[in-house]
């Protein structure tokens, strides 16, 4: 499916281009008028948000700080015990997720870029969060081999309904690595909550592919979420110049990069002659030209009933939210972009999440980034 801009409803507020979002602003979409609530600001490139059972929020800053929001106030002190991160290029402190049994074990997971003399890579750390600090920290996964360069760390994590942890790892800017099974780069890995390898991972026993790998051929997925009915993992993936993708992540599949793509190199030259090939999974939707998709979430709340079951995507390059309808018929999913909004504000949207109470939250990937809520304007 090729998505174009023709016929899309676009909300443009020209005088606000590149301006921070302001509290009590309102925004008209096709279906709803939204009220913008700025919860916190002045964060350095916030990357991820996690919702604690207490009603508080954890937010990562790419520079390497983990912050706490309490009653809509940003705690002045960063949380202690965060590992040293390589805040270089696109790297730094990335995702934060809670263990499925967080209420009993207080475990959280951080993904981050790490540097040694051998180069850079993506790591995952597990620790217990208590008294504004991380305790009993342990590194449970490291993508290998390391390499130079500050691009395409991936870093998005999600737990599925069975308690397995999924982590995206980008191709590190070296596209051929995404087709090399002995290399974690350009893959999605699946782990137990302690970092060990599930016995039913699709390549366990295959000497040519690392046991942790769940899928191959992924360029740089930076959004992952669960389908609310099936529990399947869905991802958003950066293409090059065009070819951004939405994929359903299934065990053992090869998503094609760089053997197949709808995009081209940034200088306009071809990457491949193929947009599809036998044995390689095609995307459910692709954006050409690119919007640079980031965090994604399926909307299941009550505030915006017309959006229920639809996929909401943040975007970095085009600085917007994309709303995509999702339907299922005759064994296949069908996706159609319905609307783009928020682009008039000129803010890079790093993540979009739905909190447990059904509210939409955004993170803006800016030097003075913001944590923002969207509510119906008539509340």
| 229: Cβ contacts below 8 Å, ≥ 6 apart | none
Tens digit of each residue's pLDDT (9 = 90 or more) over 228-255: 999 999 999 999 999 999 999 999 999 9
Q: What is the pLDDT of residue 378?
A: 85
Mean pLDDT of the residues in the chain: 94
Q: What is the pLDDT of residue 59?
A: 99
Tell me: pLDDT of 276 over 60: yes
Q: What is the pLDDT of residue 18?
A: 54
**99 is an active site residue:** no
Tens digit of each residue's pLDDT (9 = 90 or more) over 286-333: 999 999 999 999 999 999 999 999 999 999 999 999 999 999 988 899
- Map out the domains of the chain as residue ranges: 2-376
Q: What is the pLDDT of residue 19?
A: 66
Q: Is 135 left (phi over 0), alpha (psi -120 to 50) or beta?
A: beta
Q: What is the pLDDT of residue 82?
A: 98
The CATH code of the domain at 2-376 is 2.120.10.30
Average pLDDT over residues 58-69: 98
Distances (CA, A) of 145 to 119, 155, 263, 268, 321: 9, 16, 27, 30, 35
Q: What is the pLDDT of residue 4?
A: 41
Q: What is the pLDDT of residue 330?
A: 87
Active-site position among 45, 99, 132, 152:
152
Three-class SS of 32-64: CEEEEEEEEEEECCEEEEEECCCCCEEEEECCC
Distances (CA, A) of 240 to 100, 117, 183, 220, 290: 34, 29, 21, 10, 8
314: part of which helix (H) or strand (E)? strand 311-315
How would residue 65 be classed by pLDDT, with cut points 50, 70 and 90? very high
Q: Please give the DSSP secondary-structure letter assigned to residue 231.
A: -
């Amino acid at each position: 499916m090729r998505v174009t801009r023709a016929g899309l409803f676009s909300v443009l507020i020209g005088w606000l281009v590149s301006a921070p979002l302001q509290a009590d602003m309102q925004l008209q979409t096709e279906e709803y008028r939204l009220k913008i609530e700025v919860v916190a600001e002045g964060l350095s490139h916030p990357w991820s948000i996690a919702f604690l059972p207490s009603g508080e929020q954890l937010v990562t800053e790419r520079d390497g700080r983990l912050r706490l929001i309490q009653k809509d106030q940003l705690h002045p002190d960063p949380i202690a015990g965060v590992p040293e991160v390589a805040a270089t290029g696109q790297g730094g402190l990335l995702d934060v997720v809670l263990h499925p049994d967080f209420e009993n074990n207080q475990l959280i997971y951080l993904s981050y870029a790490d540097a040694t003399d051998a180069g850079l890579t993506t790591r995952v750390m597990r620790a217990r969060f208590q008294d504004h600090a991380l305790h009993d920290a342990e590194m449970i996964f490291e993508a290998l081999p390391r390499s130079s360069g500050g691009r395409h760390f991936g870093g998005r994590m999600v737990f599925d309904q069975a308690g397995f942890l999924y982590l995206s790892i980008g191709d590190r800017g070296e596209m051929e690595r995404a087709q090399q099974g002995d290399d974690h780069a350009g893959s999605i890995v699946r782990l137990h909550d302690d970092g060990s390898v599930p016995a039913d991972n699709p390549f366990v026993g295959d000497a040519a592919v690392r046991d942790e790998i769940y899928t191959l051929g992924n360029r740089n997925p930076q959004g992952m979420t669960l389908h609310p009915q099936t529990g399947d993992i869905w991802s958003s993936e950066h293409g090059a110049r065009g070819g951004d993708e939405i994929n359903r992540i299934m065990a053992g599949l090869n998503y094609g990069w760089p053997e197949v793509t709808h995009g081209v190199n940034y200088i306009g030259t071809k990457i491949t002659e193929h947009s599809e090939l036998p044995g390689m999974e095609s995307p459910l939707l692709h954006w050409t030209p690119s919007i640079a998709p980031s965090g994604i979430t399926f909307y299941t709340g009550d505030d915006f009933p017309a959006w229920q079951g639809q996929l909401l995507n943040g975007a970095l390059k085009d600085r917007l939210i994309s709303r995509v309808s999702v339907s299922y018929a005759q064994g296949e999913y069908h996706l159609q972009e319905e609307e783009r909004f928020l682009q008039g504000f000129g803010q890079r949207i790093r993540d979009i999440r739905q909190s447990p109470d059904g509210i939409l939250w955004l993170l803006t990937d800016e030097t003075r980034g913001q944590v923002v809520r969207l509510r119906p304007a008539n509340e």
